[in-house]
Structure 1
Amino acid sequence: MIPLVGKLRVKSIERTDVARVMREVAHDTTAKDEKTKRQGRRIVRGGEIVANRVQALLSKMFALAEDWKLRPEGSNPCRGVRRYAEHKVERFLSNDELARLGAALSAAELGYDLAKASSTKMGGRHKVAASSATSIAALRLLLLTGCRVGEILALRWQHVDLERRLLLLPDSKTGAKSVFLSQPAIDLLLSLTRQPGSEDVFRGERSGKPIVSLRKPWERICTSAAIKNVRLHDLRHSYASVGAAGGLSLPVIGALLGHAQPSTTARYAHLAASPLHHAADAIGTQILAAMSGRGKSSPSGNAGT
């Protein structure tokens, strides 16, 4: 963003400048992949979705500029700039993928990679660098609670109330919230060893500091489980999809996930088990039973319509 507007004065930037920035970012003009001394590598990506995020950032910056009297009130140049269309694709793990994920997690706890094991001539297990047991536990808790990644990484023992079966998170995307724990989630938390002098639930085994990222362990697990195109955040979607398919109402799913707006939960409506399908199954089962002579006789041979 700096190469595109860095030389312009805050008060002189207009709507056309913002539109130009969005076009440049959308067309990957500013994309780069370069080596750096401190971080090792810096990757800057472009695209239409990134352009929308840049516009949102600029809009916030100019709103602050108005508050700080650097621009006239109501002069935000981002207003009226057309955003690119976004088509959200929700990714849910199927039952088969969940089974493979469970097997891969269990294998990783022992330091094995299922994908490499299947390629060996002997068909035996293939020993690899073991993923951190703490990272694997964090991945399991993500799936069992539907929490956001940041909520799990920042989890502290003082937030865990096993007696009431709750995670009492002081801060989240929607503010303070309570996460209801299932028995499998409780069993997982009980299996964890608390580090002396630390309140962090998921503490790095080498650094002695909280785990800051699960990206690399997750990528290894996905490769081992032969699962493609699944982000960590998709574990949250999978948690909700299992609830919807199991017949839970959207308000209940929204409450479990901590959604502030019902519209956020509405994305799972098409996965909900239909009451009409349940009714059709019940009638079909009864008709087949009657045809086989196992059904109960109806009270009357005539029925009104």
Structure 2
Amino acid sequence: YTGQAREVSLKRLGLTTAEARRDWLIRKSRDLAQSKAARAAGEMAPTETTVTEAVADYLAAAGHRLRPATVLTYREGLDLFAVWAAKTRLPCIEDLDLPRLAAFREWLIARPRQRVVKGARRGERAPGVGTISPASINSRLRSVKAALNHWRRLGLTPRLDRDKIADGLARVPEPRPRPDFLRPSELRELLGAALRHDADTFDETREEHAGRKPKGSTLRHEPVGPFVLVTLLTGCRVGEVLALRWASVDFDEQEIVLAATATKTKHERSVSLEVAPALVDLLRALKLRSEGPYVFGGKRPWSRSRVEAARKRLSRDYGSPSFTWQRLRQTCATFLVNAPAIYGAASAYRAARQLGHSVAVAERNYLGLAKSVPKDATTLEAAMRIESEVDELLAAAGASPKRQKEVRRA
């Protein structure tokens, strides 16, 4: 109730019969009376905020506290929510209630997959074949839930509480396959591909042709093998590895301490290097050549697009099995949980602490996944059976494989 008059077309609302219009008027009268009483009791007055305005304000505020990738994900879901609100002529967010949320959920589920229109304007899309996958639907529902709960706390959605939001935007059941980890043979192929990638040179550059450099001595690509090995043996998320600073690497304690600001969960985390002693030698060698605070990049960290291009190149040009950075993280978790000689009876707990998720996740997703792990393997390299390939990568990076073998025997 604002005290202002507003015209409403009952025909546009689909109310074409006298009975339907009478029922709407009764409900509207009750709503106005309740709103007037609430305002008299000191509650917040309606703001008449449209969904488009609310979404824009929320995303602008979220940009200061969330990662850019998270904001982008939220934007995809909230843009669809704004489209639905416009199609259904939802006046403002104060009018959101449980039936409307349920209607949005059904609209989202039934919405066809979108495809890029060739020759059209940039970003223009048209309906494609099939519907959106359950995982994508749930991602967009989570985005809208986050915004709705934010608006609820601000008092902008008086007809909604936490339970109604959860009920109206209930997640869609989706298949949950076991984590897809790389087997030892695939890991050997991956590291072999990284070695070939890092050793590949141009046939002859201008400098070499002019005699200023030996022929065939100019690398074709920046070495990516160390990045692959660090991601694989630490189990860190790719963003955590990209942002890794030398200040976070403690060689004396043989651990990497990830600051709360550098992790997805916003909790500080310690990543032990004792389970992968090869990384200590590798990181020492990399630090000798480093020219800045970042482990990968020196003065400025590598970009996500840079390592994504290298990942695709490994599979396309150098014979690597198909993989993602997330798959390397799942591989690390699988071997940490299932190698009996690394953490013993506390494998699920210690692995969860290292990777930054709950013990329940470790037990539910990884326990019993790899059944052929050597029982006497005390390091991740041994558990994955990639010791020879790791030695080659260490040698290529300027580390000492000989000292690495001594550590293993100890």
| TM-score, with length taken from structure 1 | 0.71
Match of 2:166 in 1: 79
Displacement of 1:221: 1.6
Q: Is the 8 A contact 2:255 2:271 kept in 1?
A: yes
1:68 deviates by 1.5
| 2:250 corresponds to 1:132 | no
Identical columns (%): 23
| Residue matched to 2:328 | 235
Aligned to 1:219: 312
Structure 1 portions without partners, runs of 5+: 113-128, 279-305
Corresponding residue for 1:63? 149
Q: Deviations over 1:182-234 (max 9, x none)?
A: 211112212215544x3121117xxx631221222112223333423x32111
1:1-305 correspondence to structure 2 within 5 Å: 1=80, 2-5=82-85, 8=90, 9-29=92-112, 31-33=114-116, 46-72=132-158, 74-76=160-162, 77-81=164-168, 82-89=170-177, 90-111=179-200, 130-133=220-223, 135-171=224-260, 172-174=263-265, 175-181=267-273, 182-193=276-287, 195-196=290-291, 198-203=292-297, 209-213=300-304, 214-223=307-316, 224-228=318-322, 230-247=323-340, 248=343, 249-259=347-357, 261-266=358-363, 267-271=365-369
Greater shift, 20-29 or 163-172, is seen at 20-29
Contact 2:257 2:270 in 1 (8 A): yes
Partner SS for 2:188 = helix
How many pairs does the alignment contain? 252
Q: Residue by residue, what CA displacement relative to the aligned partner does 1:2-45 show, whole Å, maximum 9, x if unpaired?
A: 32235632122233443444444444536243699xxx768899
Distance in 2 (alpha carbons) for counterparts of 1:50 and 1:22: 13
SS in 2 for 1:78: helix
Are the equivalent residues in 1 in contact too, given 2:269–2:353 (CA < 8 A)?
no
* Residues 109-160 of structure 1: per-residue CA shift (max 9 Å, x gap): 0237xxxxxxxxxxxxxxxx94432x44222200011111111111111111
- The answer to whether the 8 A contact 1:23-1:51 is kept is no
How far apart, CA to CA, are the structure 1 residues paired with 2:244 and 2:123?
A: 29
Amino acid of the residue matched to residue 314 of structure 2? I
Partner of 1:118: none
Give the TM-score normalised by the residue count of structure 2. 0.54
For the Cα contact (< 8 Å) 1:26–1:51, is it kept in 2?
A: yes
Separation in 2, partners of 1:15, 1:74: 7
SS of 1:69's equivalent in the other structure is coil
Cα shift readout 1:63-90 (whole Å, capped 9, x = no counterpart): 1111222122753553213321122331
- Shift in Å at residue 92 of structure 1? 0.6
Q: Determine which structure has more spread, i.e. the larger CA radius of gyration.
A: 2
Q: What is the SS of the residue equivalent to 1:200?
A: coil
**SS of corresponding position for 1:147:** coil
RMSD between aligned alpha carbons?
A: 3.3
CA shift in 2, pair 1:243/1:43, >3 Å: farther
Give the corresponding residue for 1:126. none
On the 8 A contact 1:26/1:49 being kept in 2, the answer is: no
Aligned mates of 1:268, 1:250 — CA distance in 2: 8
Q: CA deviation at 1:107?
A: 0.6
Q: Tell me, in whole angstroms, the C-alpha distance in 1 between the residues paired with 2:271 and 2:315.
A: 26
Structure 1, residues 226-274: CA drift from partner, whole Å, max 9, x if none?
423x321111111122233422432232233233x21111111123659
Q: Indicate if the aligned counterparts of 1:22 and 1:54 stay in contact, CA closer than 8 A.
A: no
